[in-house]
């Protein structure tokens, strides 16, 4: 069963939005930070950058929450080859994408929890 969509400031969410040849963004749903088991009430926005490399492969920077329809659309654009966490906060959904695309290379930044990017 699909999870209910939480709105974002940048509708529509989970849709590829091109803004230059070979590069675009995907705005995801709001996220909430949990510290010491307490979910903070202040939401923050999420955004993934999608780059189509010269090889035709896709580079996903800071993946938003996995969405099957979005994944199918991105696959129609090229092979999802790189999943990138740029810092200790942008790894949250790489594991979901890695499980869906185990052939993709995951790039974790220092500070990401051990196993955060694991496909298993």
Domains of the chain: 16-107 (3.60.15.10)
Bridge partner residues of 43 (DSSP): 32
pLDDT more than 70, % of the chain: 78
Bridge partner residues of 16 (DSSP): 26
| Polymer length of the chain | 120
Between residues 67 and 110, the one the model is more confident about: 67
Does residue 50 have a pLDDT over 60? yes
Does residue 71 have a pLDDT over 80? yes
Task: Return the CA Rg of the chain.
Answer: 14
CA 66 to chain centre: 7
Between residues 2 and 73, the one the model is more confident about: 73
pLDDT of residue 119: 52
H/E element, 99: helix 94-100
Does residue 29 have a pLDDT over 70? yes
pLDDT of residue 63: 92
111: left (phi over 0), alpha (psi -120 to 50) or beta: left
pLDDT of residue 10: 78
What six digits make up the tokens of 102?
């185990």
Does residue 60 have a pLDDT over 90? yes
pLDDT of residue 7: 57
Between residues 85 and 48, the one the model is more confident about: 48
């Amino acid at each position: 069963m699909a999870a209910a969509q939480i709105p974002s400031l940048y509708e529509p969410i989970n849709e590829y939005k091109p803004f230059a040849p070979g590069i675009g963004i995907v705005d995801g749903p709001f996220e909430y930070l949990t510290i010491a088991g307490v979910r903070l009430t202040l939401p923050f926005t999420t955004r993934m950058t999608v780059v189509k490399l010269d090889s035709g492969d896709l580079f996903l920077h800071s993946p938003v929450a996995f969405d099957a329809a979005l994944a199918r659309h991105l696959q129609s654009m090229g092979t999802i080859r790189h999943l990138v966490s740029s810092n200790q906060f942008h790894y949250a959904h790489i594991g979901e994408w890695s499980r869906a695309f185990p052939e993709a290379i995951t790039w974790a930044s220092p500070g990401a929890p051990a196993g955060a990017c694991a496909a298993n």
